[in-house]
Structure 1
Amino acid sequence: MTAEAMVTSPFAGSVTDGDRPLRIALLTYKGNPFCGGQGVYVRHLSRELVRLGHSVEVVGAQPYPVLDTGASLTELPSLDLYRSPDPFRTPKRDEYRDWIDALEVATMWTGGFPEPLTFSLRARRHLAARAGDFDVIHDNQTLGYGLLGDLGAPLVTTIHHPITVDRKLDLAAAKDRKKRVSVRRWYAFTRMQGRVARRLPSVLTVSGSSKQEIAEHLGVRDERIHVVHIGADTDLWSPDPSVAEVPGRIVTTSSADVPLKGLVYLVEALAKLRTEHPEAHLVVVGKRAEKGPVARAIESYGLQDAVRFVKGITDAELVDLVRSAQISCVPSLYEGFSLPAAEAMATGTPLVATTGGAIPEVAGPDGETCLAVPPGDADALAAALGRMLDDPELRARLGAAGRERVLTRFTWAKAAEGTAAHYRAAIEQAARTRRAR
């Protein structure tokens, strides 16, 4: 079976103009787009669902989602224990409101990550008080115990990729027994997510690769998992010839302290690349780590002036940064979809990417819409980057083909249509279940 056939949704195209608008509750325990792909998903999916005529109420915790015009936000505050500039803080006595707050703090104190569980419990309480307000409830990968059972409306859950993949890679990167114990405790919530996922009637995911990982890692039956590709905002992420190209500039989106993102291999590749292309330099959209493998690599290769980290820039500044690059790079060991790849391709910036996880589904065939390399291979990365820098015609051809691929396959409008079709299928299935009782 081809990748294209595998990821076709069985409900795609079932929405018609005559279908009544839906009242949608979209739950997200971490919804700020600067926190990663889940926040981007909430922002753009909610906007496009509203454009289809639906009513969308996003229910989220800190850092609160950034939404476009149309969707409403209901704040469901946690204790915000990981906020900047005082992460892992101890709340004051008067901040505690109930037993869920106490559970949140106790889990953090013992090295665990509480937010999926505690948000699910708060969401359940909130939804119980809002019975009848929604036609469907859409959970954005919380997968907490509080979302099991009757919520007053059918539940659809998106799993971008199983967090057990992150856990596996973080354990592999741990240098000693103490660190491995800490990683296992932090990811203890993944056991809950697996138990919840196996009891869900309907799971959405964003790629065929993620579908396979969900079945393998979480034990969800294959027929319950449906793929709806996400995509880029192609109005925002578009070519602009007026933005000057900076010679040697390579752009990537990555957090330096997340092994899964493979940034350390890109830094090593940059060191190799600069022996023949001294103008080559890297701009990383993400958080700089002051210590760890990436920081050590930058220092050991003497790349302090050739690697720059940027964070907190506007959407327009980010798009112009990608437009200014000669190459966009996704060096990840694994991705459940890779929004940065789709967004960079939408600007017409040529892409060098690994074949980790679902990246090939997005980036397309090697030599046609990107240059593809094995994950974790700095030599292959350096060779592909050098080939791209040496060949302006190749960059132009791959950039144009990449944008066309995104326009054809990966837009938020298409994602909203497919998601809404699954909402209706979930509603119909719930109605059939009720009639059969």
Structure 2
Amino acid sequence: MKIGILSYRSHPFSGGQGIYIRHLSKALQRLGHQVTVLSGPPYPHLDSSIQLVKIPSLDLFESENRIKEFKLSFLYSPIDFYEWISVMTGGFPEPYTFGRRVLKYLKQSEKEFDIILDNQSLCSALIDIQKLYPLVVTIHHPITKDFTLEMENASNWKERLSSRRWHSFLPMQKRIAPKLQKIICVSEPSKLDTVTEFSVNPENIDVILNGIDIETFKLDTSVSVIKNRIVTTASADIPLKGLRFLINALPRVISDFPDTHLVVIGKSPNESKIRKLIADLGLKERISFESNLSEEEIVSIYHKSQIAVIPSLYEGFGFGAGEAMACGVPLISTHSGGLKQVIGDSALKIESGSVKEIEESIIKLFNEEETRTELSRKGRERMEEYFDWKIAAKAYIDLFEALIK
């Protein structure tokens, strides 16, 4: 089968999209299928057997001076001009502009596909694309969840206005989702939220759990664990990840375990509320941020950490939780959204937004070696049994074959 995978951005070192694209494409290829990834920048790191078709954008979010990026040629390219104007006025046009560009490529290219899989661009061009090819669209979770939490956490009207402008692609996604032939959601909660938020017929949605790369994220008992080190995966500037609740829990933990240190796998805060919170609590020397890491570097951090904490307010799936469990790191996690399906009974569960439960759970695990050992074993076993990418890839192929027939 010739499979084309669309992804408007596929950052290899941050966020779940690059992880999803890299491992799903590899797993599908291993089953004997021909996979081509069509991606906008930042481009994914793919297995050498996978063909990458680059669909260039203006990539303005990587520019330090976006005004200087303007070119007179934009006046003759409606898509380029729209992208530049949108970014300059605080918007996020990439899902839409990627769709127009990839549609043009598909119409002009001699490359043939048996089926197209879209990675949550939910762009207007998908309506035309599904007239050309059988189309399946993955929705990890409705971005309306992110938007709602950002609005709730906005401090003033300027922040609310900025969030509304950034999420101005949402009306397009809400309009397109109900018109799609087939949707894959990565967890049952994600499906329920997609039905509610995007008004999609539940019969058009199949649930296929993501996989975890259990060959890379694995146990290594030869590595010495650093006592009282905590690891989490979270971007400092995204309220959805709940990092502030974990940070607020640290002073109590440090009072009992003075050498506690938190490693955050994610972007360091600039002038964000998180940075101010860290300074106000006097935790600058207790928290380090690590970003743009290779998978090997991430695995090394997991292996050296005594416990992992996922304080997310919502996750469509939860790669960070799965990767920690695959590495045998005892896990404390909320059970919001898709995390409930990922962790099962193999982690200490906490309620979203509860600083007290985070404090108590960290102290409990630091004190109880037997509990840490049990969670380490159960977490790894759960990933091996249910979350191998081979399982996910086979489910995708079954769905593709049924749709093509």
TM-score of Structure 1 vs Structure 2, range by shorter chain: over 0.9
Query: What is the CA distance between 1:360 and its match in structure 2?
Result: 1.4
Tell me how far 1:89 sits from its aligned partner: 5.0
Correspondence 1:121 to 2:97: no
Q: Verify: 1:402 aligned to 2:382, yes or no.
A: no
Listed one character per residue, the Cα deviations across residues 285-310 of structure 1 (whole Å, up to 9, x for unaligned) are 11111222211221111111110011
> Partner of 1:202 in structure 2?
182
Residue 70 of structure 1: how far off its partner (Å)? 1.3
Aligned residue among 209, 219, 222 for 2:199: 219
Q: 1:280 offset after TM fit, Å?
A: 1.2
Q: Is the 8 A contact 1:246 1:326 kept in 2?
A: yes
Q: 2:213 maps to which residue? A: 233
Separation in structure 1 between the aligned mates of residue 95 and residue 113 of structure 2, nearest angstrom: 22
Task: Report what 1:419 is aligned to.
Answer: 396
**8 Å contact kept, 2:234–2:243:** yes
Question: 1:314 Cα shift?
Answer: 2.0
Scaled by the length of structure 1, what TM-score is found? 0.90
254-263 vs 143-152, which deviates more?
A: 143-152
Distance 1:250 1:374, change over 3 A: same
Share of identical aligned residues, percent?
39
Letter in 2 for 1:93: K
The corresponding residue for 2:86 is 107
Which AA in structure 2 matches 1:92?
Answer: F
Residue aligning to 2:12: 33
DSSP 3-state at the match of 1:249: strand
Q: Secondary structure at 2:144's aligned position in 1?
A: helix
Aligned to 1:351: 331
The CA distance in 1 between the partners of 2:157 and 2:217, in whole Å, is 44
Is residue 302 from structure 1 mapped to residue 279 from structure 2 by the alignment?
no
1:106 shift after superposition:
1.7
Aligned to 1:251: 231
Distance 2:227 2:386 in 1: 30
Aligned-pair CA distance for 1:319: 0.2
Distance in structure 2 (CA, Å) of the matches to 1:276 and 1:195 = 52
Provide the residue aligned with 1:140 in structure 2: 119
Distance in 1 between residues matched to 2:259 and 2:396, nearest whole Å: 45
Query: Are 2:351 and 1:371 aligned?
Result: no
SS at structure 1 position matched to 2:176: helix
Give the CA deviation at 1:278: 0.9
Partner of 2:363: 386
C-alpha contact 2:70 2:84 (8 A) present in aligned 1:
no
What displacement does 1:188 show?
A: 1.0
Q: How does 1:13-92 map to 2 (within 5 A)?
A: 22-83=1-62, 86=64, 88-92=66-70
- Distance (Å, rounded) in 1 between the aligned partners of 2:300 and 2:282: 28
Which TM-score applies when normalising by structure 2?
0.97
- 293-302 vs 257-266, which moves further: 293-302
Report how far residue 415 of structure 1 moved. 1.0
Per-residue deviation, 1:87: 6.7
Q: Conserved in 1, the CA contact under 8 Å of 2:182 and 2:204?
A: yes
1:146-180 Cα shifts (integer Å, max 9, x gaps): 11134421110000000010000011111111211
Greater mean deviation of Cα atoms: 231-240 or 145-154: 145-154
Conserved? CA contact 1:347–1:403, under 8 Å:
yes
What is the identity, as a one-letter code, of the residue corresponding to 2:10? G
Q: Counterparts of 2:268 and 2:51 in 1: how far apart (Å)? A: 33
Say if 2:14 and 2:292, in contact at 8 Å, map to a contact too: no
The answer to whether the 8 Å contact 2:4/2:116 transfers is yes
| Distance (Å, rounded) in 2 between the aligned partners of 1:120 and 1:38 | 16
Shift in Å, 1:271 = 1.6
Rounded Cα–Cα distance in structure 2 between residues aligned with 1:238 and 1:88: 42
Aligned counterparts, 1:154-303, within 5 A: 154-303=134-283
Q: Is the 1:128–1:151 contact (alpha carbons within 8 Å) kept by the matching residues of 2? A: no
Q: In structure 1, how many angstroms separate the alpha carbons of the residues matched to 2:72 and 2:23?
A: 36
State the 1:131 CA deviation.
5.9
Counterpart CA distance in 2 for 1:421 and 1:393 is 42
What amino acid is the match of 2:141? H
Deviation at 1:226, TM superposition (A): 0.6
Listed as ranges, the gaps of 5+ residues in structure 1 are 1-21, 429-437
Q: Which residue of 2 aligns with 1:15?
A: none
For residues 51 and 338 of structure 2, the distance between their equivalents in structure 1, rounded to whole angstroms, comes to 32
Sort the Cα spacing of 1:87 and 1:273 in 2 relative to 1 into closer, same or farther, 3 A.
Answer: farther
- The residue identity in structure 2 corresponding to 1:135 is D
CA-CA distance at 1:338 after TM superposition: 0.2
Which residue of 2 is the match for residue 13 of structure 1?
none
- Distance in 2 between residues matched to 1:176 and 1:110, nearest whole Å: 19
Contact 1:231 1:343 in 2 (8 A): no
- Which ranges in structure 2 are unaligned for 5 or more consecutive residues? none
Structure 2 match to 1:361: 341
Distance, in Å, in 1 between the alignment partners of 2:5 and 2:172 is 21
Distance in 1 separating the partners of 2:298 and 2:338: 23
Q: Secondary structure at the match of 1:40?
A: helix
Q: Aligned-pair distance for 1:205?
A: 1.0
